[in-house]
Amino acid sequence: MRIILFFDWDIPTQGDVDQWPHLSGVYLPEVDAEIGLLIACDVPTIFDPLEVKHSQNGGPYASQTSMGWVVNSPLGRYHKGPCTTSFFIKADPEFHQMVKDFYDSGFSESIADDKPEMSQEELRFLRELERTVVMRDGHYEMALPLKDREAPVPNNKPQAEQRALWLKRKLRRNKDLYSDYKCFMADIIEKGYARKVPADLQESSSVKWYIPHHGIYHPHKPGKLRVVFDCSAKYQGKSLDDLLLNGK
């Protein structure tokens, strides 16, 4: 349920109103909720009085509108707070829906299904997945979903070799890192997650991309190493991430 409020200065309570006998019948509900919609004087029909309780003995006057009671003028000696100019409240889910439908009518996307739609790139990724996926030795395999199989791909072997040289020096200096790295790589090879590329495939393939890698220790698990395969490493302005379709 959406709460709709309008007020200036201070908000009178039912207790304030009850101090004035001439305001008998004026009801101001107490609602503990956030403001859903502020309505100002640019909506004059909201303030058209349906019933008026005139001021008496220097007290406030009240008028009933289509949205509820409006109390105006100071609450006098019975009220210790600042001056109240106007206030009304209405908890009306039907009115909230009416306002929402009015504003949504100008924006077709507002009334569309909230379910996010897939982009054209994501649809292409799914089609490529369906076209190339196979089950081999208990594992699913699919071709790399390249954005453009005809576009030239730079051979980043020099970059991968340089990164491998830096890693080799680091492993030589740190025996514990070397041991953990060796265990990690042996594990993914044993599980079939990685394997040596046959020499004939290396020579025949026209598109090659070498993935540099490095190790990261878990900050909360001493000795727990994870090898990161750096698909975002750029070579001649391109990375493997740049070449592949986004399949999020």
One-letter-per-residue 3-state SS of the chain? CCEEEEEEECCCCHHHHHCCHHHCCCCCCCCCCCCCEECCCCCHHHHCCCEEECCCCCCCEEEEECCEEEEECCCHHHCCCCCEEEEEEEECHHHHHHHHHHHHCCCHHHHCCCCCCCCHHHHHHHHHHHHHCEEECCEEECCCCECCCCCCCCCCHHHHHHHHHHHHHHHHHCHHHHHHHHHHHHHHHHCCCCCCCCHHHHHHCCCCCCCCEEEEECCCCCCCEEEEECCCCCECCECHHHHECCCC
pLDDT of residue 110: 47
Q: What residue segments make up the domains of the chain, in order of their start?
A: 3-111, 148-241
Q: Which segment of 19-23, 35-39, 221-225 scores lowest on mean pLDDT? A: 35-39
Answer yes or no: pTM beyond 0.75: no
What mean pLDDT is reported for the chain?
Answer: 77
